[in-house]
Structure 1
Amino acid sequence: MDLKEIQNLIKFVAKSGASEVKLEMDDVKITIRTGSENDTTYVQQVPMQAAPVMQQQMPAQPVAPAQEAPATPAAPSEDSKYITIKSPIIGTFYRKPAPDKPVFVEVGTDIKEGDVLCVIEAMKLFNEIESEVSGKIVKVLVDDSSPVEFDQPLFLVDPS
């Protein structure tokens, strides 16, 4: 399990309101505890090998999420003026309300706050994802019917 997966798990547990989550896999055991003491989240990662057991405790809050490298060198200056709309949940991303319906938004579509941009299916429930900003869709970052993670970028919006 890599650092990004652990960070996503921490964010998910923090938003869920659970006080403790334990995850055991073949080679890793993770315990995430959220306490009332300053609302701090701790991760304890223990190797499951026969070697001497080492424990790490690290606060989850200060860890910055890993950023993906841009496809082109000119992208950082261009994309910096755009607002990124991210997935609030884990699930399957759909651009249409139904297979026989048109997509919610295309590149170039003007949107306003509260407009439905897509749906994300999680546990057989279809959740409409509404825009929190007004502007124009510049880029759709996820393919239709693709799995998405919590906090994964979905759309780039030009607010001007």
Structure 2
Amino acid sequence: MDIKDIQNLIKFVAKSGASEVKLEMDDLKITIKTGSEGGDTTIVHQAPSSHIPQQVIAAPALETPAAPAASQESAAPAAASENAKYITIKSPIIGTFYRKPAPDKPLFVEVGQTIGEGDVLCVIEAMKLFNEIESEVSGKIVKVLVDDSSPVEFDQPLFLVDPS
């Protein structure tokens, strides 16, 4: 198993929402733990008979800034109550968020546009594959929460939809 296979496994585990995965093969043991404590951690152990030393790979940690969090907490209750009536559409995968199918094409959806179930809202590029993200709800787009061509994390809010 090479490093790309391990990276793919980390992304798959993050996407699945599992909190811990252990994989043991003949000469390899991999443990992937995810959680809110500070990101994903992957530990790779090579068997003693192998001439390759033990490797430790740390996945990118989730951003947890301490100082800005305090200022956001005071604004959060007001925004949360305001957004409580809306449905949040979240990213099902890690990748790069695009609002258009191509640079010269129009946006998939705009603020104020009415959408139905199955309508394509955006694409997320993951490992050079463009995944169309379809709506699971009907309603009206209230807000786009991510800038075009921005990286997104698994379960990151992308859109607010008014279901009424």
Q: Same fold (TM over 0.5)?
A: yes
Q: By how many angstroms is 1:76 displaced?
A: 1.7
Equivalent runs, 1:1-20 vs 2, <5 Å: 12=14, 14-15=16-17, 19-20=21-22
Mapped to 1, the partners of 2:103 and 2:89 lie a distance apart of 23
Mapped to 2, the partners of 1:11 and 1:133 lie a distance apart of 26
Q: By how many angstroms is 1:70 displaced?
A: 7.6
Per the alignment, residue 63 of structure 2 pairs with none
Please give the secondary structure, in 2, of the residue aligned with 1:84: strand
Equivalent runs, 1:1-160 vs 2, <5 Å: 12=14, 14-15=16-17, 19-20=21-22, 31-32=31-32, 69=73, 71=75, 74-160=78-164
Mapped to 2, the partners of 1:89 and 1:13 lie a distance apart of 6
Structure 1 residues not aligned, in runs of 5+: 1-7, 23-29, 34-42, 47-67
Q: Identical aligned pairs, as a percentage? A: 74
Structure 2 residues not aligned, in runs of 5+: 1-9, 25-29, 34-39, 44-71
Using the TM superposition, name which of 146-155 and 75-84 deviates more.
75-84
What is the root-mean-square deviation of aligned Cα atoms in Å? 3.5
Q: Does the CA contact (< 8 Å) of 2:99 and 2:123 recur in 1?
A: yes
Output the amino acid matched with 2:153.
E
Q: By how many angstroms is 1:78 displaced?
A: 1.2
Mapped to 1, the partners of 2:41 and 2:101 lie a distance apart of 41
Mapped to 1, the partners of 2:129 and 2:11 lie a distance apart of 21
Q: Does the CA contact (< 8 Å) of 2:109 and 2:121 recur in 1?
A: yes
Mapped to 2, the partners of 1:140 and 1:150 lie a distance apart of 17
Please give the secondary structure, in 2, of the residue aligned with 1:74: helix
Q: By how many angstroms is 1:75 displaced?
A: 1.5
Distance change (3 Å), C-alpha of 1:90 and 1:10: closer
Q: Does the CA contact (< 8 Å) of 1:70 and 1:76 recur in 2?
A: no
Output the amino acid matched with 2:159.
F
Distance change (3 Å), C-alpha of 1:45 and 1:100: closer
Q: Flag the structure with higher helix content.
A: 2
Per the alignment, residue 62 of structure 2 pairs with none
Distance change (3 Å), C-alpha of 1:118 and 1:9: closer
Q: By how many angstroms is 1:133 displaced?
A: 0.3
